[in-house]
Amino acid sequence: MIRFENVGLRYGTGPEILRDVTFHILPGSFHFLTGPSGAGKTSLLRLLFMSIRPSRGLIFVFGENLSELTQGGRAELRRRIGIVFQDFRLLDHLTTWENVALPLRVMGKRESDYRDDVTDLLNWVGLGDRMHAYPEILSGGEKQRAAIARAVIGRPELLLADEPTGNVDPVIANRLLRLFVELNRLGTSVIIATHDYALMDQLDTPRLVLLDGHLQIR
């Protein structure tokens, strides 16, 4: 599904943040991506999500070599990936329902075709009574769930989440983790970037550990 071969990354003329990163993500797998702050977790997620290019090495996403893809080709692949940002990135002028429906809207689907799906998903993540609310009046946990719902509404093959439990209390964090596990059972590969060891200890899954720019799989 995803293959990194000797990938290196540096910003501008700065030091190399990621060095010789090589790994393979299989369909239906569940991984935690961890490491100390500043280890390059977010940069690795950005590479996975094709929002930046590596300084060296090769990245294959869904069998496609990213260096050979056009802008349109990358946008097509991005639709097969869902991403949850640490800062949610919900659009304040759209309601929760409209934010969650956004990926389907940009795909050119008709609202009548996805209206029920969006409502069902919002009910599933516990936001059924908040679907007409605007993000600015949602709590941190509600925003996080809305962001997750937006990431999975398009039934992505891969879900990337950057510190998805960083802004919520442990109870909500556990609920969110169960949500990711459930999505994984439905066939979505999941990579969660976190440094919350308590959260990681709840699941017996491989960990991608970043240390000094090098990646180890434990």
Partner 1 sequence: MTFLTNIRDYPWSGLVSGIVPSRLASYLPARFQAKSTQIVPSASIAGNALTVVIAIMSFLASLTAGAVYMVNQSASAWVSDIASEITIELDPLVDAPDIEKKMTLVSLFLAKQKGITEVKPLTAEDSAKLLEPWLGHNAALAELPIPRLIAVEIDRSNPPDIELIKNALTQNFEGVTLDDHGRWQAEIKTLTRSAALGGLAVLALVFAATIAVIVSATRSAMASNREIIEVLHFVGATERFISREFERHFLGLGVRAGLVGAIAAASAFLAMPYVMNLGSGGITEAEMHRLVGPGRLDLWGYLLCFFVVFVVAGLCMITSRLGVIRVLKAYE
Tokens representing residue 25 in the block = 């993500």
| Contact pick of 94, 181, 200, 203 for partner 1 (by CB under 8 A) | 94
Is residue 91 a contact residue for partner 1 (CB under 8 A)? yes
Among candidate residues 25, 55, 46, 49, the one with its CA nearest the CA of residue 206: 25
- In whole angstroms, the minimum distance from the beta carbon of 72 to partner 1 comes to 6
- In whole angstroms, the minimum distance from the beta carbon of 157 to partner 1 comes to 12
- 177-216 residues in contact with partner 1 (CB under 8 A) are none
- 21-50 residues in contact with partner 1 (CB under 8 A) are 49
- In whole angstroms, the minimum distance from the beta carbon of 13 to partner 1 comes to 17
- In whole angstroms, the minimum distance from the beta carbon of 79 to partner 1 comes to 4
C-alpha count within 13 angstroms, C-beta hemisphere, residue 60: 13
Q: Which residues, at least 6 apart from 63, have a Cβ–Cβ distance to it below 8 Å?
A: none
Interface with partner 1 (CB under 8 A), residue total 30
Please, are residues 167 and 139 in contact by the beta-carbon 8 Å criterion?
no
- In whole angstroms, the minimum distance from the beta carbon of 109 to partner 1 comes to 11
Tokens representing residue 188 in the block = 């979505």
Q: Give the separation between CA 121 and CA 138, rounded to whole angstroms.
A: 17
Instruction: Report the first-to-last Cα separation within the chain, whole angstroms.
Output: 19
Is residue 155 a contact residue for partner 1 (CB under 8 A)? no
**Residue with Cβ nearer partner 1 (76 or 212):** 76
Is residue 105 a contact residue for partner 1 (CB under 8 A)? yes
Rg, C-alpha atoms of the chain: 17
Instruction: State which H helix or E strand residue 175 sits in.
Output: helix 170-185
Is residue 150 a contact residue for partner 1 (CB under 8 A)? yes
Among candidate residues 43, 5, 40, 41, the one with its CA nearest the CA of residue 24: 5
**Residue with Cβ nearer partner 1 (32 or 85):** 85
- 57-86 residues in contact with partner 1 (CB under 8 A) are 71-72, 74-76, 78-79, 83, 85
In this structure, how many other beta carbons lie within 10 angstroms of the beta carbon of residue 55? 15
- In whole angstroms, the minimum distance from the beta carbon of 30 to partner 1 comes to 22
Is residue 2 a contact residue for partner 1 (CB under 8 A)? no
Q: Give the separation between CA 74 and CA 134, rounded to whole angstroms.
A: 30
- Applying CB under 8 A, the residues found at the interface with partner 1 are 49, 51-53, 71-72, 74-76, 78-79, 83, 85, 89-91, 93-95, 98, 102-103, 105-108, 110-111, 150, 154
